[in-house]
Amino acid sequence: MSSPPANAVVLLSGGLDSATTAAVARDRGFRLYALSVDYGQRHDAELRAAGRVAAALGVARHVVVKIDLAQFGGSALTGAMDVPKGRTDEQISHGIPVTYVPARNTVFLSLALGYAETLSAADIFVGVNAVDYSGYPDCRPEYLAAFETVANLATKAGVEGTLKFRIHAPLVDMTKAEIIRLGVRLGVDYGRTHSCYDPDYTGAACGRCDACRLRLKGFQEAGLTDPARYQD
Amino acid sequence: MSSPPANAVVLLSGGLDSATTAAVARDRGFRLYALSVDYGQRHDAELRAAGRVAAALGVARHVVVKIDLAQFGGSALTGAMDVPKGRTDEQISHGIPVTYVPARNTVFLSLALGYAETLSAADIFVGVNAVDYSGYPDCRPEYLAAFETVANLATKAGVEGTLKFRIHAPLVDMTKAEIIRLGVRLGVDYGRTHSCYDPDYTGAACGRCDACRLRLKGFQEAGLTDPARYQD
C-alpha cells in the first residue's frame, strides 16, 4: 500500500497566482488545506473567487480567517487611498506600489504556519512572485528564506524536529505569461479567479488597474484569451 | 528644542509581563501604541485588563485586532482542551505546555510589524520571557532575532532603509520575581493585570493554573503581595 498524501497549506487569495500555486501543490501529490484571509479588502469578489477555486481543486478544507488590517491604515487595498488606474508598465514595475499592505505576507504566512502546525503539515505554498511585482519586498526569495527560518524556530513541531517547515513559492521567478501557461497545463480554470483591485458591484474587472493590466498582458504574451469577466 | 518622542508598538495582552514591558518602553521615552489581539481566548478578562493597563500607561492609541485562531484548533487557550490545574513547578517548566497556541507570537509580531510600519515606528516591544516559560519555542532569543531579520526584509520601510526594525524583549532573561520588582519600580499597578487561564465569571483568578502558580511564586520570591483578585 502507498502512504497517504501529505498535508499542505495553501494561501488562496482567489487570484490567478494563488490558484496556479494550489494546482502545483496538488500536482505534487499534496492533500490541500486552503487558507484565505479576509483582511478588510474593499470588495469580497476575491473571497468568492477563492471559494470557487478551492471547490474546483477539491481541497480537504477551506478556512477563511477574518482580520481587520484596515484598522492600521496605510494602503489602497484596505480603503485608505485610491487605486491607481491606467499606469504604464514602467510605472507598475518601478518602486513599491501604493497598493502595498504593511506586512501582509508576514501576517498571511504566520497564519498559514499556525494552521500547518495543527495539521502536521510541513509544507506551505504561497503564490508570491518577484518578477511582475518587484515592488513588494515580501515577495522576494530572501524574504521567504528568512520566514522559513522563523517557521522552524517558532513552532513546537519545528523545535522538536517532528516537522521541517518549507515555504514553497513555485511561481517566484516566473513571468505572468509563464504562470498562465503552467496553470492551463495543470487544468486551472482562470475564469474562476479574480485579480482586479476595483471591480464593479457584479464582480466584473475594471481592466485598468495594475492587477488587471498585468493579468491581461500575461494572457496576451501567453497567446491566450483571459476568460475573466470585464466591465463593458 | 528636543525632538518629539519616537513611536513604539507594544503588544499588550493584559498580563503581568506585557504590562511591565510597556512600562519599560515608556521609561525609555517612547510614545506607545498598544496592540492587543483578540484571538478567540476562552474569556475576555485578558482584554479588559489590557484596556485598563493601556489607560494607566497613557498610550497614544490602543488597537484590538480580532482574529479567530480557534478555527485552527490545537490549544487549551482557544477552547480545544482543558486547562491543567495544580501542576508542580517541575511539570510547568518541563516541555512545551498544552496551552501552547500554534505560531501565536509569530502572528502577533506580524500584526505588530504591520502596525509599526504604518506608524513609522521602528521599535516593537513584546513581553516574552524564556525563563519561566521555557517550553514556548517562540519566546527564545534566537526566535526573536530571526523574526527581526524577517521584519527588515518584509517591509517597504525596512527595504528602503527608512526604518531599522528592532524587536525588544526586555524581560526575556528575567525571572518572574525580577520582572515584578522592575514593574513595581516603574510604577506598574499589577492589580490591573490578568494572568489566569481560567478565571470565574467575575474575572477572579483561579490560583491553580500554570499562569497563576508562576505569578504567585514570582510575587512570593519578590517578597510582595499580589494585588490581583483571586477566587475564594
For the stretch B54-80, pLDDT in tens is: 999 999 999 999 887 777 765 544 544
The answer to whether residue B216 scores a pLDDT higher than 90 is yes
The answer to whether residue A100 scores a pLDDT higher than 80 is no
- pLDDT band at residue A96 under the 50/70/90 scheme: very low
What pLDDT does B80 receive? 46
Indicate whether B116 belongs to any domain: yes
Percent with pLDDT over 70 in chain A: 84
What pLDDT does B96 receive? 47
CA closest to B145 among chain A residues: A150
Indicate whether B209 belongs to any domain: no
What pLDDT does A55 receive? 96
Task: Report the SS3 class of residue A227.
Answer: coil
* Rounded (10°) CA dihedral A137, A140, A142, A147: 80
**Element housing A103 (H / E):** none
Question: What pairing do the DSSP bridges indicate for beta strands A7-11 and A123-125?
Answer: parallel
User: Which of A63, A117, A158 is nearest residue B71 as measured by Cβ atoms?
Assistant: A63
What pLDDT does A1 receive? 55
Q: What is the pLDDT of residues A116-172, one digit of tens each?
A: 988 999 999 999 988 765 567 888 899 999 999 999 999 888 888 888 999 999 999
Higher pLDDT, A137 or B167: B167
Domain that holds residue A108: 7-176
Q: Which DSSP symbol is given to A2? A: P
CA closest to A118 among chain B residues: B74
User: What span, in angstroms and rounded, lies between the C-alpha atoms of B193 and A100?
Assistant: 36
User: What span, in angstroms and rounded, lies between the C-alpha atoms of B109 and A151?
Assistant: 13
- pLDDT band at residue A204 under the 50/70/90 scheme: very high
A73: Cα within 13 Å, side-chain hemisphere: 5
Pick from A70-79, A109-118, B137-146: least confident = A70-79
Cβ distance of A68 and B72 shorter than 8 Å: no
pTM of the entire predicted model:
0.88
Q: Could you tell me where the DSSP H helices lie in A120-140?
A: none
CA-wise closest residue to B57 among B83, B84, B20: B20
Q: What is the pLDDT of residues B43-61, one digit of tens each?
A: 688 899 999 999 999 999 9
The answer to whether residue A90 scores a pLDDT higher than 60 is no
Tally the domains of chain A. 1
What pLDDT does A103 receive? 85
Indicate whether A29 belongs to any domain: yes
CB A2 within 8 A of CB A27: no
List residues of chain B with CB under 8 Å from any CB of chain A: 63, 65-69, 71-74, 96, 100-107, 109-111, 113-115, 117-118, 137-138, 140, 142-143, 146-147, 149-151, 153-156, 158-160
Evaluated on CA atoms B135, B139, B145, B151, the torsion sign reads positive
Indicate whether A50 belongs to any domain: yes
Average pLDDT of chain A? Answer: 86
- pLDDT band at residue A41 under the 50/70/90 scheme: low
Indicate whether A169 belongs to any domain: yes
Question: What pairing do the DSSP bridges indicate for beta strands B31-38 and B61-66?
Answer: parallel
The pair phi, psi for residue A199, each rounded to 5°, is: -70, 160
Percent with pLDDT over 90 in chain A: 60
CA-wise closest residue to A133 among A75, A168, A89, A102: A89
ipTM field: 0.87
User: What span, in angstroms and rounded, lies between the C-alpha atoms of A68 and A79?
Assistant: 12
User: How far does Cα A85 stand from its chain's mean position?
Assistant: 22
Indicate whether B215 belongs to any domain: no
User: What span, in angstroms and rounded, lies between the C-alpha atoms of A20 and A4?
Assistant: 23
User: Which of B63, B72, B154 is nearest residue A138 as measured by Cβ atoms?
Assistant: B154
What is each CA distance from A27 to A8, A24, A64, A116, in whole angstroms?
12, 5, 23, 19
What residues of chain B lie within 8 A of the CB of A142, using their CB? 153
CA-wise closest residue to A112 among A63, A68, A158, A76: A63
The answer to whether residue B133 scores a pLDDT higher than 90 is no
Q: What is the pLDDT of residues A63-82, one digit of tens each?
A: 999 887 777 765 444 544 45
What pLDDT does A86 receive? 67
User: What span, in angstroms and rounded, lies between the C-alpha atoms of A206 and B90?
Assistant: 62
What pLDDT does B161 receive? 85
- Residue B145: which CATH number? 3.40.50.620
Cβ distance of A103 and B68 shorter than 8 Å: no
Q: Could you tell me where the DSSP H helices lie in A58-103?
A: 89-93
Q: And the C-alpha cell for A225? A: 484569451
Indicate whether A149 belongs to any domain: yes
CA-wise closest residue to A179 among A14, A24, A9, A31: A24
Q: What is the pLDDT of residues A212-226, one digit of tens each?
A: 998 999 999 999 999
What pLDDT does B16 receive? 95
User: What span, in angstroms and rounded, lies between the C-alpha atoms of B61 and B55?
Assistant: 9
Indicate whether B83 belongs to any domain: yes
Evaluated on CA atoms B86, B89, B94, B98, the torsion sign reads positive
**Element housing A207 (H / E):** none
User: How far does Cα B176 stand from its chain's mean position?
Assistant: 13
Other C-beta atoms lying within 10 Å of the C-beta of residue A94: 12
